[in-house]
Structure 1
Amino acid sequence: MAKKPNSFRPRGMPTAAEREREYDRQRNAQRPWRKWYFSRRWKNERLNFLSEPENQFCRRCQAAGLLNPGTMRPDGSLQRDPRRMHLVVHHTVRHHGDPSLFWDRSLWEPICPDHHDSEAQAEERAFVAEMARRGGG
C-alpha cells in the first residue's frame, strides 16, 4: 500500500501541535475562566454528575429515541474514534465566566461529543450572532 508522503513544512514554521498549543494559550488568556475546566473540582463534579442514573445517556439522543452512553453517533452507528467515546457535560446556559452559572448543576446536561460539537456549538454561535446584531443595531 502506498504511504502518504510527509507534508512540507518550511524551516522555522510551527508544527500543527505547536499551532494548536498557541491557539489554546491565546484562547485561555482571553477567557481566564477556562482554567476551571482543568481544576480538580470540575473533574470531580463532572464525574459525580455523569455517574448519576439520570445522566448516563446523551439527552439529545434520548429525545430522538436512542440510548447513547457516548459510544455511538447520533445516527446510531458506533463511534470509531476512541477519543470521542464519552459524554460531555454541556452548560445549557452560557456562563460567560460567572461562577454561579458555571457551577450550577441544574444548568448542565450530558450530551455526546457529536451533539456538543455540532448542535450545541451552533446554538451558541447563533446566540452570539444575535447579541452582536442587537448590540449593533
Structure 2
Amino acid sequence: MPHRPNTPCRHPGCANLVPYGQQYCETHKLLHPEALRSAGSRGYGSRWQRESKAYLRAHPLCAECARQGKYTKATVVDHIKPHRGDPALFWDRANWQPLCKPCHDKKTWNEDKNPVYSY
C-alpha cells in the first residue's frame, strides 16, 4: 500500500515538510504546545462539557448570526479572547459566547491564521 505524501508544516511561513498526521516540524513544535496536548489536558474535560451545555441552554442563539440579523441555533461555546492555557480566562463566563459551528470555525481560523505570540 502506498504511503501518504508529506505535508507542509502548519506554522505560518514555514515550508518544511512533515510526515502525514503531524502538524508542525521539529523547529516549530515547541511554539505550538496546544497541538500536542489532548483536549482533556487543555481543560475540555467533563466539567467543561457540563458547563458549556448549561451555557448553551441559557444562550441558545449564535451571537455572531444575531449581529447579522439571523437566528441560528448555537452549538459551540466560544472563548471571546483566546485563553491560551490561562485557567482564569478559560472559566470566566464573561469571556464566553454562544456560536454556531460555522461562525466558530471562521473565528478560530482567523485567530489561528494570525496568532499573537508573546515572548
TM range (shorter): 0.5 to 0.7
Instruction: Provide Cα deviations, 1:73-115, integer angstroms capped at 9, x if missing partner.
Output: xxxxxxxxxxxxxx11110011110100011111000111111
Matches within 5 A, 1:1-137: 9-10=1-2, 13=3, 30-31=33-34, 32=37, 34-35=39-40, 36-37=43-44, 39-52=45-58, 55-70=59-74, 87-126=75-114, 128=115, 131=116
Structure 1 Cα separation of the partners of residues 106 and 46 of structure 2: 27
Structure 2 Cα separation of the partners of residues 65 and 124 of structure 1: 27
2:55 alignment partner, SS class: helix
RMSD across aligned C-alpha pairs, in angstroms?
2.8
TM-score (norm 1): 0.57
Q: Which runs of 5 or more residues in structure 1 are unaligned?
A: 1-8, 71-86
Structure 2 Cα separation of the partners of residues 124 and 108 of structure 1: 18
Q: Which has the higher helix share?
A: 1
1:109 alignment partner, SS class: strand
2:39 alignment partner, SS class: helix
Q: Which has the larger radius of gyration?
A: 1
Per-residue deviation, 1:60? 0.6
Q: Does the CA-based 8 Å contact 1:33-1:97 persist in structure 2?
A: no
Runs of 4+ in 1 over 3 A off after TM superposition: none
Q: Which has the higher strand share?
A: 2
Query: Would you say how many aligned residue pairs link Structure 1 and Structure 2?
Result: 93
Q: Which runs of 5 or more residues in structure 2 are unaligned?
A: 5-19, 24-28
2:98 alignment partner, SS class: strand
